[in-house]
Structure 1
Amino acid sequence: MTKLEIKIIETKPFDGQKPGTSGLRKKVTEVMNGNYLGNFVQSIFNVLPKDKLKGSTLVVGGDGRYYNKQAIQLIFQIAAANGVGKILVGQNGLLSTPAISAIVRARQALGAIILTASHNPGGPKGDFGIKYNQSNGGPAPESITNAIYKETTTITQIHSAENVNVSDLYTLQSHEWEGFTVEVIDSVSDYLTLLKSVFDFPSIKKFATDPTKNFRFNFDAMSGVTGVYGKRIFSDELGFPESCLINCIPSEDFNGGHPDPNLTYAPELVRKMNNGEFDMGCASDGDGDRNMILGNRFFLNPSDSVALIAANYQAIPYFRNGLKGLARSMPTSAALERVATDLKVPFFEVPTGWKFFGNLMDADTLSICGEESFGTGSDHIREKDGIWAIVCWLQILAFNNTTSLEEIVKKHWSKYGRNYYSRYDYEEIDTKPAEEMMKHVSAQINSQELVGKKFVGIQDNVTYEVAKCDDFEYKDPIDKSISSHQGLRIIFTDGSRIIFRLSGTGSTGATVRVYFDKYETKQDQLNNNVQIHLKSLIHIALEEISKLKQYTGRDEPNVIT
């Protein structure tokens, strides 16, 4: 058996390698610069306990974006030189983020290195991403990501096994060196096995293929990694014709698109659904952890989606013994909270970032959770899961014996009321004016001058009085850690909310996100246009409180959800 040829590479730190909420995301051109990526990968291994690292198993894979193949080979070499015993890598290097979480848990791996910038654009001029997930299958906590960052600021050496190279990532086989193995595994099998334990696949297939139902389904993989999963799950297992699947060939630049499943970046799917061509349409992002779900001429807001999945939990076999708890990220609408109250189960409001849900799941206190940013999931893994959310809705439709998603949603609104909700994204703003705008809002919150202040709505002539405002802080009930400065909240006496956040998922500039949430119970007001219903709240947020245009020069958001 071939011995490892380990080489010590002298290196120097690069600035700006601090991971955000979802790992390190940078432009490909920056990541390809010298030892930039090698430094970060070596820093991961530097912080992992040496006794656990030696002979361990790691999972490696990603969304197939540009430079992933070269990065995978680099990870093989550095992992081998740092004592890792085995790497499980997806066929062609492709593994969705939810599938990686499933594999880590099923095969008791030490963790995973995931190569994805999620919903960000790819290609030679696009974005690159890398993150470390721990042994529970979920994102590393801040204690680890901070330690990795600290290593990047002082690193002087990279350990690399120069003779480790796996040119064939297509054939399912093992490649062995003395003390180190790379096994190419099927990208779908472990994950599919898990889904079959969560859902009743035969009942969904019976519903999907019933000629009397004529259920029309469309799935858009947005040229991301779930193209690999679409045919196996939706066609081979659930019986939908392959013609229902679009953009299912993974592409290094996502076929020139922006793999973010929303109304702006999935135009082909949105057009078809607005034309009434299908009863249910859905899309996932580059790495498969996000989802968008549409009905026939009907948009399902992600905040409503997680609330309805929870309310219909009995349709899903995995949850038939009951729910342990429900949770949402702070900016997500309060719709899920109302379900938790009705079902009398614990409810948690956490900062943005899936790791916070993971702590609750590991403590056996959380079953279903979601983020307004098209992320939905449960404790079957420790990542949000786009395919899981889509199959949830197929199961709910089958259970209720209806092809109308809109019918189920409107019945829910009639019972619980409706949270009119929208998010405005202002992308790639110059960092300084974005921060100045946030400081302007923060100053009003810190002084509490907003409390008791009244605003008259320009559209509804309703008076909105501020009941409380704060910079959201979360004390984790499990590990007692405190996460501060998680978003600026303004809450009105009627329960309406305005939230301002600077996002940490972009690779350049700043992204300002503004959220609007207004609760409505009047039965004759449950089916209004969202933007019209929120017009007053939007005006208060942008014109009166933040003066966003004055600070940033932006007239319109890039994306409206």
Structure 2
Amino acid sequence: MTEFKSVIVPTRPFDDQKPGTSGLRKRVTVFQQQNYTENFVQAILNSLGDDLQGSVLVLGGDGRYYVKDAAKLIIRICAANGVKKLIVGQHGIFSTPAVSNLIRKRNTSGGIILTASHNPGGPDKDFGIKFNTDNGGPAPDYVTAEIFNITVGLESYNIVPDLECDIDTQGVYTYIVDGNEFNVEVVDSVADYVGLMKEIFDFDSLRELLKGSEGRKPFKILIDSMNGVTGPYVRQIFVNELGADESSIVNTKPLEDFGGLHPDPNLTYAVQLVDAMKEGIHDFGAAFDGDGDRNMILGKKAFFVTPSDSLAVLGAHLHHIPYFKITGIKGFARSMPTAGAIDRVASATGIDFYEVPTGWKFFGSLMDADQLSLCGEESFGTGSDHIREKDGIWAALAWLQVIACEKKGVEELLVSHWKKFGRNFFTRYDYENCPADNCAYMLHKLEQIVTSPVYIGTQIIHRNKSYVVKQADNFCYEDPIDGSLTPKQGIRLLFEDGSRIIVRLSGTGSSGATVRIYVDSYEKDERLILKDAQVCHYTFMWVV
């Protein structure tokens, strides 16, 4: 067996490698700069400290441009840094939820995920690298801070330049590096995740739903993978396992540029699915983003389910899912900007509720403490404690499980929910690629204005409805598990009836700053709950 030697390569630090909400995201051309990717990966490994030597890590990505090149590069760097074993998805492919599952199932030290999530892909588009810790979730703030501190002082990285590994063929590859054994296990990207879904849901009842039974016609679905990573998972689950027709799944081949699609599952970018659903042939539609953690749910004739409503409806019917019949329902949570629909479900059911900053890592702390079962974000993310990431396919299966048990369609479930709990009309406005310094100054001035004591009690009347300012602040989160504080997470304007306006900076862009404005208007009058959300919110926001 050939023995490989590692080498130390001098480098210079980069000052722009601070991870955002979910890893480091830049243009592909930035990562292709000499030593740029190498530096960041070395910093991730250095952050493991004494746990690096002899560690086992998971590696995979969403199939976008530069994933395979980066994966092979990371294998060489890990080999030179004392990592004992890498578990790599075949072809370098792994959905983000699948990585989280495998980290937990194999008890590894963590995983490196190559993804820019819902950002577009291609040679001139976006790429990203994020590190998930040994609980399967995104690295918490203190870890990402340590990674960044390492990057700004990094002077060298370690690599085995001659090591080549075939990541397209499953198997275990063994190498001797500096006298030590180094293994790369290339695995089926889909199998373990599908096995987990079969443990969580009642696949027999889902098959019956899709094929029709007890006088019910077949329930027709349309699933759009948007040429992202979920394609192979979707085919295995919905076609091979649940018996859906091949025509029920579209855009299932992972492509480096997502086939020109913008893999963000919303009404703007998943227009192909929306248009198909408008024809009224299908009863249920779902779309997933590039790395498989986000989802959009549609009912017949493209009836749109907001992520906030999706979370609330699943919360109200979580008892139908076999997994929770075993584990029990421990708590609900949402990100701060997400509409307050799940809050009312928690209140009515007596289940603990948590409001956290944007970023899935904040949910993970609660899950690890056994205090949280279901959570979600308005940015089309929903998940549970089965892993430590949001999970698009899980959300679609959860909806189908509820539909199978309730024997109601998507729109019927939503209307019934609104009549019981009221409706949170919700929308979000994004202003992208803005000058970062100007945005920071704007938020500073806005905080000074709205947190003035004279602002509390301000009354706004619109169409005979009164909105009275109850509270205004810059959201600060105190983690109930470790007591850590996460300040300045967004300006909140809270009204007495539960309506809200939120302004914050997003951390998921690859360049510039993204300002997001969220409007959440609560309505309990049954005569008004079926009004168009966009019209209602536009007028409300204009008055404020």
Residues in 2 aligned to 1:505 and 1:285: alpha-carbon distance in whole angstroms: 14
Structure 1 residue aligned with 2:274:
270
* Structure 1 residue 440: Cα displacement: 3.0
The alignment status of 1:245 with 2:249, answered yes or no, reads yes
Structure 1 residue aligned with 2:329:
323
Structure 2 residue aligned with 1:174:
172
Structure 2 residue aligned with 1:42:
42
Residues in 2 aligned to 1:24 and 1:107: alpha-carbon distance in whole angstroms: 25
The alignment status of 1:407 with 2:406, answered yes or no, reads no
Aligned pair partner of 2:507 in 496, 504, 507:
504
Residues in 1 aligned to 2:439 and 2:217: alpha-carbon distance in whole angstroms: 51
* Structure 1 residue 435: Cα displacement: 3.0
Aligned pair partner of 1:487 in 485, 490, 505:
490
Structure 2 residue aligned with 1:388:
394
Which residues in structure 2 correspond to 1:84-123 (within 5 Å)? Answer: 84-123=83-122
CA RMSD of the aligned region, Å? Answer: 1.2
Task: Report the residue type matching 1:203 in the other structure.
Answer: S
Residues in 2 aligned to 1:520 and 1:88: alpha-carbon distance in whole angstroms: 49
The alignment status of 1:530 with 2:533, answered yes or no, reads yes
Deviations 1:481-528 (A, max 9, x none): 100001110011222100001101001121111111111111111111
Structure 2 residue aligned with 1:225:
229
Residues in 2 aligned to 1:164 and 1:540: alpha-carbon distance in whole angstroms: 63
Structure 2 residue aligned with 1:518:
521
Residues in 2 aligned to 1:451 and 1:231: alpha-carbon distance in whole angstroms: 53
Residues in 2 aligned to 1:279 and 1:79: alpha-carbon distance in whole angstroms: 47
Residues in 1 aligned to 2:484 and 2:437: alpha-carbon distance in whole angstroms: 30
CA contact under 8 A between 1:59 and 1:88: conserved in structure 2? Answer: yes
Where do 5+ consecutive residues of structure 1 fail to align? Answer: 542-561
Residues in 1 aligned to 2:169 and 2:306: alpha-carbon distance in whole angstroms: 41
* Structure 1 residue 447: Cα displacement: 2.7
Residues in 1 aligned to 2:84 and 2:437: alpha-carbon distance in whole angstroms: 46
Deviations 1:83-127 (A, max 9, x none): 101101101110000000000000111100000000001101101
CA contact under 8 A between 2:23 and 2:131: conserved in structure 1? Answer: yes
Structure 2 residue aligned with 1:12:
12
Which residues in structure 2 correspond to 1:216-365 (within 5 Å)? Answer: 216-297=220-301, 298-321=303-326, 322-365=328-371
Aligned pair partner of 1:198 in 192, 197, 200:
200
Task: Report the residue type matching 2:475 in the other structure.
Answer: F
* Structure 1 residue 378: Cα displacement: 0.4
* Structure 1 residue 73: Cα displacement: 0.9
CA contact under 8 A between 1:333 and 1:517: conserved in structure 2? Answer: yes
Which residues in structure 2 correspond to 1:26-41 (within 5 Å)? Answer: 26-41=26-41
Structure 2 residue aligned with 1:547:
none
The alignment status of 1:210 with 2:220, answered yes or no, reads no
CA contact under 8 A between 2:209 and 2:218: conserved in structure 1? Answer: no
Please give the secondary structure, in 2, of the residue aligned with 1:534: helix
Structure 2 residue aligned with 1:161:
160
Moved more, 113-122 or 409-418: 409-418
Residues in 1 aligned to 2:451 and 2:526: alpha-carbon distance in whole angstroms: 38
CA gap 1:188/1:119 in 2 versus in 1, 3 angstroms: same
Deviations 1:159-205 (A, max 9, x none): 00122211x32221111102101111000111111111110011101
Please give the secondary structure, in 2, of the residue aligned with 1:524: coil
CA contact under 8 A between 1:419 and 1:517: conserved in structure 2? Answer: yes
CA contact under 8 A between 1:448 and 1:469: conserved in structure 2? Answer: no
* Structure 1 residue 480: Cα displacement: 1.0
* Structure 1 residue 244: Cα displacement: 0.9
Please give the secondary structure, in 1, of the residue aligned with 2:4: coil
Which residues in structure 2 correspond to 1:122-137 (within 5 Å)? Answer: 122-137=121-136
Which residues in structure 2 correspond to 1:57-72 (within 5 Å)? Answer: 57-72=56-71
* Structure 1 residue 216: Cα displacement: 1.2
Where do 5+ consecutive residues of structure 2 fail to align? Answer: none
Structure 1 residue aligned with 2:467:
464
Residues in 2 aligned to 1:350 and 1:193: alpha-carbon distance in whole angstroms: 30
Task: Report the residue type matching 1:39 in the other structure.
Answer: N
Structure 2 residue aligned with 1:559:
none
CA contact under 8 A between 2:457 and 2:469: conserved in structure 1? Answer: yes
* Structure 1 residue 13: Cα displacement: 0.3
Residues in 1 aligned to 2:49 and 2:511: alpha-carbon distance in whole angstroms: 33
Residues in 2 aligned to 1:427 and 1:65: alpha-carbon distance in whole angstroms: 22
Residues in 1 aligned to 2:314 and 2:71: alpha-carbon distance in whole angstroms: 36
Please give the secondary structure, in 1, of the residue aligned with 2:89: strand
Please give the secondary structure, in 1, of the residue aligned with 2:430: strand
CA contact under 8 A between 1:428 and 1:510: conserved in structure 2? Answer: yes
Deviations 1:367-391 (A, max 9, x none): 0010111000000000000000000
Residues in 2 aligned to 1:517 and 1:425: alpha-carbon distance in whole angstroms: 15
Residues in 2 aligned to 1:417 and 1:306: alpha-carbon distance in whole angstroms: 14
Please give the secondary structure, in 2, of the residue aligned with 1:103: helix
Structure 2 residue aligned with 1:555:
none
Structure 1 residue aligned with 2:141:
142
Deviations 1:221-252 (A, max 9, x none): 01100012110011001111111111111111
The percentage of aligned residue pairs carrying the same residue is: 52
Structure 2 residue aligned with 1:546:
none
Q: TM-score, normalised by structure 1?
A: 0.94
* Structure 1 residue 461: Cα displacement: 4.4
CA contact under 8 A between 1:330 and 1:349: conserved in structure 2? Answer: yes
Residues in 1 aligned to 2:453 and 2:59: alpha-carbon distance in whole angstroms: 48
Structure 2 residue aligned with 1:447:
452
Task: Report the residue type matching 2:241 in the other structure.
Answer: E
Aligned pair partner of 2:423 in 411, 418, 425:
418
Residues in 2 aligned to 1:482 and 1:520: alpha-carbon distance in whole angstroms: 33
CA contact under 8 A between 2:46 and 2:52: conserved in structure 1? Answer: no
The alignment status of 1:369 with 2:375, answered yes or no, reads yes
Residues in 1 aligned to 2:454 and 2:434: alpha-carbon distance in whole angstroms: 28
Please give the secondary structure, in 2, of the residue aligned with 1:148: helix
Q: Count residues in correspondence.
A: 536
CA contact under 8 A between 1:139 and 1:354: conserved in structure 2? Answer: yes
CA gap 1:320/1:499 in 2 versus in 1, 3 angstroms: same
* Structure 1 residue 24: Cα displacement: 0.3
CA gap 1:33/1:231 in 2 versus in 1, 3 angstroms: same
Q: TM-score, normalised by structure 2?
A: 0.97
Residues in 1 aligned to 2:518 and 2:258: alpha-carbon distance in whole angstroms: 28
Structure 2 residue aligned with 1:552:
none
